[in-house]
Amino acid sequence: MNKFRSIRICFCCFIVVVFIIISGCSKPQTPESELVGNYLQVAAGSMHSLALRKDGVLAAWGDNRGGELGTGSSNQYENTPQMVGTGYILFDGGPYATVALKSDGSLWSWGFTEYFQMGNGNKPIQIGTDYISITAGYEFGAGIKTDGTLWMWGSNYYGELGNGTRSEINIPTQTGADFAAISASHGHCIAIKTDGTLWSWGFNNFGQLGDGSFDDKLSPVQIGSDFTAISTGTYHSLALKADGSLWSWGDNSCGQLGISSMGENIPTLVGKDYKSIAAGSSHSMAIKTDGTLWTWGDNSSGQLGLGTYGDISRKPIIIGSDFVSIAAGDAHSLAIKANGTLWACGWNEYGQVGDGTVTGRTLFVGNKIEGRQTDIMSVKFI
């Protein structure tokens, strides 16, 4: 009798445990209408994230080992958005550093400073004035002033400063004129001049400069015209033309170009009707003119938001609608919807998804509570 009683008790306990697990898994998702709609713009470093709120506050989260969050904290990482400061209008993250632009045109930098030579670690420090465009690459940075002059600084091993040499520069130094926009990555830059022409320089082992060669360029070379937007991945590049056509070139080993070939060293058409682009390490994102979000490339960390790990997509896949801002890190993705809600997915070892955990997400997670992302909502939009 005791034996059968013990078996009965164990069976009842098993049923209770199963019920608890099922109940937890079937917890209703948070309606999107309850999410906090307080964000305007996002940017991503390799393993950290940045977002501008509607009240003018710049928030940061993720990897902080180099002080790249700019919060003054010595914590190795933050897995929820933390306040950096106010007055910012533009910002960009590199692997271990961040550059940001305030509304008065002042340029600020923080994070790892071995090559930047312009920060004090984990707090923002002003390094210039009169800027309108900025970017952070791997151990170097760049900015465009109101008069169209291009200023660069940092490491120059591949000629990424575009000044005709391989000598590093530890303060912003003018290297060009008549520029309107610039994007930097792991050793290469692409930039748009005021006349819409597209230029590139630096590391070119994968054809990421788009000039038809695989040779590094120490000075800017023209590769096209009529361009309006650009974004650089680790070894690939994306660009939009005025007609909404999307072009890509460089490494395509993970499908990050959105085309079938293994790589191209000249701009190659991906598709039409696009208005915003973001290149990650080995994946890409874009928003079409109708507000739909598309992703492609490497999905080893769930960064495409498909609900799975390990897939490679060589063609853009639609994820959802009503998006206005996107950013791609090494292996995580950020997006803001038209209603101001903030979403993220992918690699999360350093909290770069910002959902209060360090658990990777294969579906986009929505922000419910300002400053925290509790009551996590993971959804597949389509």
- Contact partners, residue 178, CB within 8 Å, separation at least 6: 148, 193, 194, 195
Closest CA to 138 of 73, 229, 233: 233
Third-level CATH fold of 41-379: Methylamine Dehydrogenase; Chain H (2.130.10)
| DSSP assignments along 263-291, one per residue | EEEEEEEEESSEEEEEE-SSEEEEEETTS
Return the amino acid letter for 42.
V
Q: Give the phi and the psi of residue 257 in degrees, each rounded to 5.
A: -85, -15
Contact of 324 with 317, CB cutoff 8 Å = no
Q: Cβ(244)–Cβ(290) under 8 Å? A: no
The answer to whether 333 and 326 are in contact (CB under 8 A) is: yes
Answer yes or no: are the C-beta atoms of 316 and 31 closer than 8 Å: no
| Whole-number Cα distances in Å, 239 to 93, 150, 210, 247, 327 | 19, 19, 11, 5, 14
Closest CA to 266 of 222, 189, 207, 196: 207
Write down the domain spans for the chain: 41-379
Per-residue pLDDT of the chain (382 residues; tens, 9 = 90+): 443 334 333 434 433 333 333 333 333 345 565 566 889 999 999 999 999 999 889 999 999 999 999 999 999 999 999 999 999 999 999 988 999 999 999 999 999 877 665 656 799 999 999 999 999 999 999 999 999 999 999 999 999 999 999 999 989 999 999 999 999 999 999 999 999 999 999 999 999 999 999 999 999 999 999 999 999 999 999 999 999 999 999 999 999 999 999 899 999 999 999 999 999 999 999 999 999 999 999 999 999 999 999 889 999 999 999 999 999 999 999 999 999 999 999 999 999 999 999 999 999 999 764 544 444 568 887 7
